Structure formats: structure tokens, C-alpha cells
A and B are shown apart, each in its own frame.
Chain A
Amino acid sequence: MNPEDRYGWCGRILEINLSAGSITTITPQSNLLHEYLGGRGLGARFVYDNGVVDALSEDNILVFAAGPLTGTPTPASGRASVTTKSPATGTIFDANAGGKFGYVLKKAGFDAIVVRGIAEMPVIIEVEDDEVDIKDGRNLWGINVKEATNILKKRKKGSFAVIGKAGERRSNIASIAVDGSHYFARGGVGAVMGSKNLKAIVISGSGKVQIFDKDQFEKTRRTIHRMLVASPTIDKGLKVFGTPVLVKIAEWMQILPVGNFSGEAFDASSLYGSKLKSAHPSKRRACPACPIGCKREENGGYELPEYETIAMFGPNLLNRDLETIIEANRICNDYGIDTISAGGIIADLGVTGSDEILGLVKDLGESGINSKHSSSISVKGLELPGYDPRRVMGLGFSYATSNRGGCHTRAYMVAPEILKKPKAINPLTLGGKAGYVKVFQDRFAAVDSLVVCKFAFFGVSEEEYANILTAVTGLEFTSEDLMCVGERIWNLERLYNLREGFTRADDTLPEQFFDGLSRDAFEDTLDEYYAIRGWDDGGVPKKDKLRRLGLLKKE
């Protein structure tokens, strides 16, 4: 460990090559940690440096990473990320999940685990502090998420990253489950894990993350906590209803994805968060160090659907039956498949009946590599989430420019355009959105690297998290520093995608949305966005921009 990285970071990365059966610990350079923080940023650097690979080959890598705040009591810091090349999109791809994985990874003394190669037979990686082992996993192969996780929980304490049958069969909508209830959901990251014959990672640890200035940390922690619990979005929304609070608001704004994004009207009253709450009494579940607790779990340990799942299996399939959605969610989670993509694919098939929906969800779980449909409503091969871009135009623009495909969390324009935080902005125009989306993309690239939950930013800004990062690490970080880290990561991801052959033509939306959106206004906004980013007209970062971000030498 480098002495200056002993606070916040562990200063150690575990590297496991499943082909060779080798296990090594590497000490990352200080500048790698300082310039990329952890999580998504660290993953992006590793995946970029791994070169051009086939997503399901032994050359691809999976980088599970926590951040410098993970493992401390920093509010909303209990998350982790996994970065790889996606078999669904062909882009660089990071997925982000709650649960205890990141927290326990840090307690075990590692900032990240890099998994390389392919095991000869199904295996499990077990980490208990410095004891790391690759074990026979054949007895778990063919078993879905809940059962496999329960079997592992009986053997070991700790946190569990597990794939279901979909991942084993390399379905490009396969997810990785964390502790049986949280998901690295999108982009087929579970298929990459399955392609490596890696059924699970089990991790436990007894260490403690060191904090440089405990007094300042506690003071800032209290400030963040107070601001979080005072936010109406959190206090009256996420705490009360979980993410399904959005169903009624999305219906009111007419932005639900109705009938495979056909733009129709839809009465979603049977699917409101309040309906789910009254019909299915549940326990609030929170990730480590989180005062929000947005997750809902029924008796029996089954998690209730999030907003995205309700939107994609509800209005998107013209389905008003909440019980069908709850069951579809349960099946998706158990097989380990992404509910957004599953809903998008089933909508593309024109399916709306309950029995048929549930049958197709099972089929998707059982199917292999070719589970995706090329005609589903997607950007860069990733199915769009539950917001119609015709009436939330900044969010739509963020889908188009996202470096992992059709995703709402890259810029998280849900906050200003739907929930009016930190400031209400008009969702019905592209005017001003080029700059807004750029700033929010950079912001959340940094947030994903800390790794902190985006929901925290309904109540606080990057300034508070820069302050607490300074207190934890002993290194001076300002909010501008965080934005610069975010911009560096965004540009590195862009360079990866350009190297894979993506061009300006991929920064767009499916043709059907240009019935409501002006193509000219969209292209003008894209020009403006590239200019703001310091990219040329084709969306290629200019040398001066790369030099200022410290990316030029490495390219």
C-alpha cells in the first residue's frame, strides 16, 4: 500500500485469473486512485487498458470495485460497481448495485477485484480477508439466484455476488445478484460472469476503513444525513413508497412507456406506489450506511418491483395487473435477468396477456445468448427504461448520448426534469439541455466512482461529498475536482466506444421518437453538446481536451 492511500482506499486490488488459476494482489499507483477514485472510474481505466476484446471471450475482464467512501458510515455509500465490455451493447459498461458487496469488499481489504480468463469448470471465488480461494462450483451450476444464494449463506457469512441460469447460459440480458436482492442489472454483465464459468463470489472481511479526520468526517456526515432526511423527495417519497412513487407522477406527466413507447395514453391507477404499498405490506430495506431505505421486501424475502419494472411490465405491455408485474419481477430476479430489457423485449413481441407475459419471462430466463431482439426500442443495443423521451427531452437526449446505451442513470435527468431537484427545469424542450446533460453526466460519473447512491443527490450536492471525501482521505477535493474526475471518466469511456467503432450516428434515438421530437432541434443540440464537451463534429474528443484531462499520453 502506498502510504498516502491508507485513508479511504485500501490500496490493494485483487486480481484473479481463472484460466491460470492464479491469485495476485496488486498495489495501484496513487494517481490511479486519485484520478479515478474507485468504482466505475477504476473499472473504466482497467477495461480500457485491457484493449479490444470479445465480450464473452476469456480476454474480457470483470472489475468489481468499491470507492474511497465505501465501508465508512458516509450516508448512501453502500454500493459497488462492476465494469466490463458488454455483450449486449459492445460498449464499455458499468453496472451499479446496492447490498453489502462493496462494504464487505473494503472490510476484506480490497478496493477492487479484477477477474480475468475462463475457468475450466464452474467455480466460486471465496475471499475472507487475505485468504482467497477458487473453489469448485459445479454443485451450484444450474441453480437460480435465490436458492444458490441461500446455499452459500448457509456455508459462509458475508456478501454474495451470484448469477442465475440466464448468466450461466450467457444471455445478454443477464444480471448479477448481490445478496439475493440487489442487482448489477443491465448490459448482460451476468453473461460475462457466466462466460467465465464463475457462478459466485463470496466475500467476508474483518478490517476497517481508515478515516483521516474523524471529527471533520462526523461533522460532514451529520450535515449530509440532515439534508437527506429533510428532502421531500426522500422523506415523503422514497421512504414511504420506494421508487414506485414515480408511477403516478409519470402518468401525470404523460411520460410512461405505453404500448412499447407508442405514445398512447394509459390509466396506471392500479399500479401506483400507494396501491402497491396497501396491497403488499412490506419491510423497508436499506443498503449499508443508507438513511433512505428505498427497497421493499415482502414476507418470504421477495423484493417488490421498482418503478422501472412496473413501467416496463405495466404500461409498456398495456398491462394493469399488479400481481403479474410482481410475479414477473420475481422470475426475472431469480433467473438473473434485467427487468428493463426483459420488458422491452416482450413489448417488442407485442405480448400483453398475463399468462403469456409470465411464460415469456421464463423463456427469457431459460434462453441463451440470443435472447435479445434487434428491433426492441433501444439505444446502442440497450433497451430504453420507463420514461418516454418525447416528453422528457433532456432525459431522452441523455439516452442518446449515454456511453452505455439507453439508460436513465448516466445523467439522471429524472431529478431535474421529473422530480424538480435540485431545480425544476422544463422537460418539454431541448433548449439548454446540451449543457445540463453534460454537467449531469460528469457529475454522476464521479458519483458512480465514489461509489454513492444517486438518490442522495435529491438532498445534497457534490460539494458535501467533496468535503467528506477530503475528511476520509486527507486529500483536498473540491466539487470542481469531482466534476473533473467525472469528465475524465466520461471521456475515457467515450474513447473506448470510439475504438470499438461507435460514431456520431450511434448518438441518437430510435426513429419512432422523431414523430414528437424535432430531428433538426435534436441534431443542433448534439452539435452544441459536442462543442461543450470539447469534441469535434463527429463526437471525437479533441487533443486539447484529452491533454487537460490527463488522457492524452495514455492514448
Chain B
Amino acid sequence: MEELIKYGRKMVVSGLVDSHFGNVSKRVGDRMLISTTGSMLDELEGEIVSVPIDTAIPDEMDIIASSEVNLHRRIYDETSALSILHGHSRYAVALSMISGAGSLIVPRDSESLYLLHEIPVVGGGVGSDELAESVASALKDNKATIAEGHGTFARGSTVDEAFVVLSSVEHACCVKYLVDMWKNEL
């Protein structure tokens, strides 16, 4: 729980999200810890709940968990991820809207290219099963994906690793946006 609180705060401090625009989770066996709906990521003390991964087990805490709890479930169900960080990071959102769903964003900077290779942009309405399916599918082969017009989903084996991925995506998108602008390639 402390890790989620720590990295939630770092997400805001680093400018990766504006306060409550995102959610964080960590898998613990057949359950996950996840931030509550509407919570501010830099103030997660007392705002993390435990819910089952299996959707067939109804749990009372679901109604105050992040509204994207089912998307997190889908990712944990279909991948080996142990932590997911989601943020409405500005450059990632902008670039996803420029590139469009179905495209791949290829980083221009060497570090991001080495770490991420490429970042798929996926489509689907916020909160929809379609988005959950496309994000989970993309994260089978990639460390991160961007939901078009919505934000980045980063996976990791630890919260710390997911944070590095989330930061890298935003760094990659920022650099690519600036370079593409300079080269009139946008």
C-alpha cells in the first residue's frame, strides 16, 4: 500500500498526471490494491481498497474503487503484470490523438526506444469493455499502451517498474512531439 501512495505522489510531482487524472493498482495474489474513484493521486493515504481480481466474485468495495477497476482486472487476468499505473499524461494524450487508434508510436530518443520499443495506441470508450480488451491485449506484448485521447497504461512487475515505464512513455512522447514539430512531420 505504501508503494502505491509513494508512486501516486511521484506521478503528480513529476507532472505525469494532474492530481486525480489517473489510477494505480498492485496485484496481491488473487486480489489487487487499487486507488478509490475520484481520489487525488498525491493524497492516497486512506484511499486504497482491496478487491478480488475475479469479476465473478462481487465485492462491496468495488463501488468505491477506481471506475477503471474492471480494466485493471482484465490486465491482471490476461498478463503477468503485478502493477499497473494509469495517467492522463499530456504529451501521451496529445500524441495518441494525432496518431489515432491502431497506430504505433515509435520513440525517437534512444533510451525510450531501448526500453519501450514501440507504444501501441488503442481505441474504445472510457469504461467500456472494448477499451479493457484492447488495453489488456496490447499489454501482452508491450510494457505500455496509450488509450486514444485518454492516457497511458503502464505495467510492471513492481510499482517502481511501472512508474519507470509510465515516465518513459511521457518522455518519449514529449521528445517525439517536439522533434516532429521541428521537422514539420506532425
A interface residues (Cβ-Cβ under 8 A, vs B): 232-233, 236-237, 240-241, 245-249, 252, 272-274, 418-420, 423-424, 428
Contacts and interface: CB of A to CB of B under 8 A. Distances in A.
Contacts of B62: 232, 236-237
Contact of A420 (B38, B46, B58): B38
Given A249-B64, A273-B60, A274-B58, A420 B49 contact: no
B54 interface: no
A236 B38 contact: no
B38 A423 contact: yes
Nearest to B50: A252
A428 B45 CA distance: 12
B39 interface: yes
25 contacts: A232-B37, A232-B62, A232-B63, A232-B67, A233-B63, A236-B63, A237-B62, A240-B58, A241-B58, A241-B60, A245-B63, A246-B60, A247-B60, A248-B61, A249-B61, A252-B61, A272-B60, A273-B60, A418-B64, A420-B36, A420-B64, A423-B38, A424-B20, A424-B36, A424-B38
B128 to A, nearest CB: 11
Interface residues of B, number: 15
Contacts of B46: 428
Contacts of A233: 63
A541 B59 CA distance: 46
Contacts of A236: 58, 62-63
A535 to B, nearest CB: 31
A257 B52 CA distance: 27
Nearest to B69: A232
Interface of B: 20, 36-39, 46, 49, 58-64, 67
Given A240-B58, A252-B61, 11 more contacts: A236-B58, A236-B62, A237-B60, A245-B63, A247-B60, A248-B61, A249-B60, A249-B64, A420-B36, A424-B36, A428-B46
Per DSSP, chain A at the interface is helix
Interface centre among B60, B61, B64 (most CB of A within 10 A): B60
Rank and list the top 8 A-B pairs by shortest CB-CB distance, nearest first: A424-B38, A237-B63, A248-B60, A236-B62, A245-B60, A420-B38, A233-B63, A240-B58
B74 to A, nearest CB: 16
Contact of B63 (A247, A419, A424, A428): A419
Contacts, number: 46
A241 B62 CA distance: 12
A311 to B, nearest CB: 14
A237 B61 CA distance: 9
A419 B36 CA distance: 10
B23 to A, nearest CB: 12
Nearest to A244: B60
A443 B23 CA distance: 30
A153 B63 CA distance: 38
Interface centre among A240, A248, A423, A424 (most CB of B within 10 A): A424
B1 to A, nearest CB: 13
Given A241-B58, A274-B58, A274-B59, A419 B38 contact: no
A243 to B, nearest CB: 11
Contacts of A237: 60, 62-63
A515 to B, nearest CB: 20
Nearest to B49: A252
Nearest to B67: A232
A284 to B, nearest CB: 14
Contacts of A423: 38
A533 B58 CA distance: 42
Contacts of A273: 60
Contacts of A252: 49, 61
A428 B60 CA distance: 22
A355 B109 CA distance: 73
A424 B59 CA distance: 20
Contacts of A420: 36-39, 64
A249 B51 CA distance: 12
Nearest to A240: B58
Interface centre among A246, A247, A419, A420 (most CB of B within 10 A): A420
Nearest to A272: B60
Contacts of A274: 58-60
Nearest to A247: B60
A232 to B, nearest CB: 5
A245 B58 CA distance: 10
A241 B58 CA distance: 9
A316 B46 CA distance: 23
Contacts of B58: 236, 240-241, 274
B37 A424 contact: yes
A273 B63 CA distance: 13
B39 to A, nearest CB: 6
A492 B169 CA distance: 58
